[in-house]
Every structure is written in structure tokens, then in C-alpha cells.
Amino acid sequence: MPEGGGKDALVESAAFLAATDRLVVGTGIANIHFRIPTPAEGGARTLAALYPGRFVLGLGVSHAPFVEENMKGTYGKPLATMRTYLDRMNALPPEIEEGARPARVLAALGPNMIELSGELADGAHPYLVTPEQTAATRAILGPDKWVISEQAVAIGGDAEDQLRRAHTHIGFYVPLQNYRNSWLRQGFDESDLVPGGSDRLARALVAMGSPEQAAASVTAHLDAGADHVVVQILGDRPTTDPRPALRELASVLPL
């Protein structure tokens, strides 16, 4: 789950883990500007100790407007900021929750952050990327690190409604420079970075059409080298129940 909605992702993870027996829960992503490194690492280790193999700690540097305007903080160079943060996490003494360490992945879009996710983490969690970018991430990380790509999905309703939901989703991210840079690296251009995103950008990043067509977009990331694909169902509101659409996808994947 994300952390942009005002809830603490680690606390929310603990609630989901406590209420389930098999579910693997990941933070996608926990904002490193929200918490200092030591309790972030300690809290993550506690969840790993309580729920072995069921918690994945996803970390990210967030975006300058969120940090500087909403938090009144300082948004430094993302790569250096993340490296320093991870070094401080790793400095927590090993006897704290000895032997318990969650899998750690980074919200990595650019090549340097992807490389860091292989150096100081267990892999990368790319967001709003094409299967081609998943393949590029795999190529940088090699065969032994995790690639957990996200795929937004808009199914149900007619084609016009699906495209509307895709533009609403993409539109939130278009003003953010980290994503704009990522899309330019992926082969899009400034004409795609209009409010709401161009139709080309929306169709490339959001799986639409029938459940079978959407499932093909999910499997394209797996074929490109992803270990796992996080499916994000786009409804009319952020609180729309995703389970009916997830069941449709599960039936055609098949799961």
C-alpha cells in the first residue's frame, strides 16, 4: 500500500499482517522523509520477526512538492539522500530483532537508483513503467535481485470510461518531475506530458480493454523479467473496492 493518503504504511502493514495468515504485505512505498532511519529499520525488523517471509519494505524518496510544500522539509539529491538513509538503516545493531530482516526494495526509476537498489537493497519496485522498462531494470540488476513492477488496470465499463479513468490516474503524476524524467527516458516526449497525459501515455501505462487484454499487460511484465507484478485497479474513486476486478483478472491469468 502507498503512504500518500495520510496513513503510516508500517502501522497499516502491521494491521493487515495481524488480520491474515498468508498474505504478503509490502509498502509501496514508505516515504523516507516521514521517518528517521533507525526506527524505520527497527520497525521493519519487528514485522519481519513477527511475520517471517510476509513483509516487504519498499522505500522511496518521494517528490519535491510533497516534501517541501506539504512537509516543509528539504528535498535533496535523491540518490545521495537514499544512499545515506540506507547506510544509517544498516548501522542499526544486529542484535535488535536478531536474525530478522525484511526484504527491502526501492522505488527506482532511473538507472542510478536501480543500481543502488541492487547494491543496498534486494531489488526495485518500478511504478508507472512499460514492460520495456521492466526489462531494462532487470538488465541492470541481473538475475538475482527482485523486480516488482506495478501495473495499473482499468477494466469494466466501455472504452471511453476506461480511458477516462486512466487519464485521471496518470494526471496525478504528470506534474511530478521524477515521473516526467522517467517517461522521457522510456521514449515518450513532451507532447505526452500534458495534463492528464496523452492517450499514448495512458494506453502504454494502464492496461485496458477486456480482462484478457489487461491480463496480457500484466504477463508482459513477467515476460520482461519481473518477479512479481503489483496490480492496481483503477476505479471511479480511490476507495472503490478492487476485488471484483481482481477476481476477473485472477480467472483469466489463471490464479
Q: What is the pLDDT of residues 118-150, one digit of tens each?
A: 999 999 999 999 999 999 999 999 999 999 999
Cell for 155?
Answer: 477494466
Torsional class of 162: left (φ above 0), alpha (ψ -120 to 50), beta (otherwise)? alpha
Q: How far apart are CA 161 and CA 55, in angstroms?
A: 35
Q: What is the mean pLDDT of residues 94-111?
A: 96
SS3 percent helix, strand, coil of the chain, rounded to 5, is 50, 15, 35
38, 9 Cβ separation under 8 angstroms: no
Between strands 103-106 and 25-26, the pairing is unpaired
Task: Please name which of 143, 150, 68, 71 lies closest in space to residue 108, comparing C-alpha atoms.
Answer: 150
Domain extent listing, the chain = 1-107, 127-255
- What sections of 91-237 are H helices per DSSP? 111-119, 131-141, 159-173, 177-185, 199-205, 211-223
- Mention every residue, 6+ apart, whose C-beta is less than 8 A from residue 248: 155, 156, 211
69, pLDDT greater than 80: no
The sign of the torsion formed by the CA atoms of 27, 32, 35, 39 equals positive
DSSP character string of 20-36: -SS--EE-S-EEGGGS-
Q: How far apart are CA 31 and CA 21, in angstroms?
A: 26
Q: How much is the pTM?
A: 0.94
Q: How far apart are CA 45 and CA 22, in angstroms?
A: 18
Q: pLDDT (tens digit, 9 = 90+) per residue, 151-172?
A: 999 999 999 999 999 999 999 9
- For helices 211-223 and 131-141, the axis angle rounded to 10 degrees is 20
31, pLDDT greater than 70: yes
Q: How far apart are CA 96 and CA 162, in angstroms?
A: 48
Domain 127-255: CATH architecture, name and number where available? Alpha-Beta Barrel (3.20)
Q: Using alpha carbons only, what angle is made at residue 177 by residues 174 and 182, rounded to the nearest 5 degrees?
A: 85
Mean pLDDT estimate for the chain: 95
